[in-house]
Structure 1
């Protein structure tokens, strides 16, 4: 029987993609980039995405702060598209402020948290940035559901390192067998939970093939299935 439930945050409870696009659209509009000759949203987005992913992926090794990740990403994108790269700093600051105060949630997230809250202690394990994750949860009226938040940049630990999972289990004062972790990533969430000896529930809303290398304890396509699954145990 589980005595605590841990969740991944982005694309499990919070819709990261929708929040990012919303904040990006509004930041571009505020800085009037759409009025620049030759500016096209789809082109900007397609160039920005791989540049941003590279800086984000290298941020820990290179010790790059999130503000630098965004500044460099906007700078390189603007330069590649032939626009003034000096716009990058104010654009990055506006985007980050908007993103931290934007909360689009995954379908069923509010209901599942309302249902589980009070029945189980709840926690978050996230590879995101603490400033953003805490602010987005508060904006969405979801922060009060959680007893503990374990956020990578605050702890200096990143999934799938088992240490961040172990820290969460110890904070609840439970055995690993008494905790269930719910997440959408087989790479970060499943592997980290498996290394730590925590049962994993794979949230797979689009029905991606799992393959033989991964064997999650449970797999669900909607968050509502989680409460039904727990009720039947």
Structure 2
């Protein structure tokens, strides 16, 4: 086999992040009687993604992100003064209840488990990510689940990969990363010096000039790669 281990991201790679965020936001805003329009939801998503980019760039910490998300957003858009950490804790309690798999995930994991060690590396909280994978019925496919909370660093920081590879007997030369995040997954793998597959199901542009070994848009395309043993020459159909 060309590789022995596949690392998977979680949010928007295994579990549908858009569906999860939609559920959690609606539950939170309904509880507090805040109006959540489609435009307001777009604003939140853009703001939240901006904070995650800062986290990945190392300019803010995970604790700072947790405190600022709702504290700043609600102040700017509703004029509300809130305890940012408390609202985030409530939001995460709803977030961990949503675990809709993306199409084709379980079929791909079932196929891949026969030839590869399957693992997870996620920027997120340990309990929440494990709980969601368990609730989605796919936790049993993974021999190792590592989160940024446990590692103390977030992708693409090299130190999160140091921590990950300290936990597994398979080295980066025999590993390939499968994830949707250019700034986190693909950049992290490229900087660390191992292969990646960009799961570009949101049809985004590669504006970071990164070089994943392959790009796919669906899980059936990923299974085709597995059947071909990740040999060069694969093109999106």
Instruction: Output aligned runs, 1:75-224, within 5 Å.
Output: 75-82=71-78, 84-86=80-82, 91-210=87-206, 213-224=209-220
Q: 1:114/1:192 Cα in 2 relative to 1: closer, same or farther (>3 Å)?
A: same
| 1:74 counterpart residue number | 70
Of 204-213 and 143-152, more deviation after overlay is shown by 204-213
Partners of 1:187 and 1:58 in 2: CA distance: 10
CA apart distance, 1:171: 3.0
Partners of 2:108 and 2:136 in 1: CA distance: 14
5+ residue gaps, structure 2, are 230-237
| 2:23 counterpart residue number | 22
CA apart distance, 1:50: 4.7
Partners of 1:167 and 1:3 in 2: CA distance: 19
Of 209-218 and 150-159, more deviation after overlay is shown by 209-218
CA apart distance, 1:174: 2.2
| 2:33 counterpart residue number | 32
CA apart distance, 1:181: 1.0
TM-score by length of 1: 0.81
Q: 1:205/1:85 Cα in 2 relative to 1: closer, same or farther (>3 Å)?
A: same
8 Å Cα contact 1:124-1:146 kept in structure 2:
yes
8 Å Cα contact 2:99-2:133 kept in structure 1:
yes
Of 41-50 and 179-188, more deviation after overlay is shown by 41-50
Deviations 1:41-77 (A, max 9, x none): 2343244345544555566755563xx7455433433
Deviations 1:85-121 (A, max 9, x none): 3587765443221101211221111211122224321
Q: 1:76/1:202 Cα in 2 relative to 1: closer, same or farther (>3 Å)?
A: closer
Q: Secondary structure at the match of 1:85?
A: coil
Deviations 1:2-57 (A, max 9, x none): 11111111111111121011111122223333xxxxx3523432443455445555
Partners of 2:88 and 2:154 in 1: CA distance: 24
| 1:4 counterpart residue number | 5
Q: Secondary structure at the match of 1:14?
A: coil
Q: 1:70/1:100 Cα in 2 relative to 1: closer, same or farther (>3 Å)?
A: same
Q: Secondary structure at the match of 1:172?
A: coil
**Greater Rg over alpha carbons, structure:** 1
Q: Secondary structure at the match of 2:167?
A: helix
Aligned positions, number: 226
Partners of 1:109 and 1:131 in 2: CA distance: 21
8 Å Cα contact 2:176-2:195 kept in structure 1:
yes
Of 212-221 and 148-157, more deviation after overlay is shown by 212-221
8 Å Cα contact 2:67-2:88 kept in structure 1:
yes
Q: Secondary structure at the match of 1:107?
A: coil
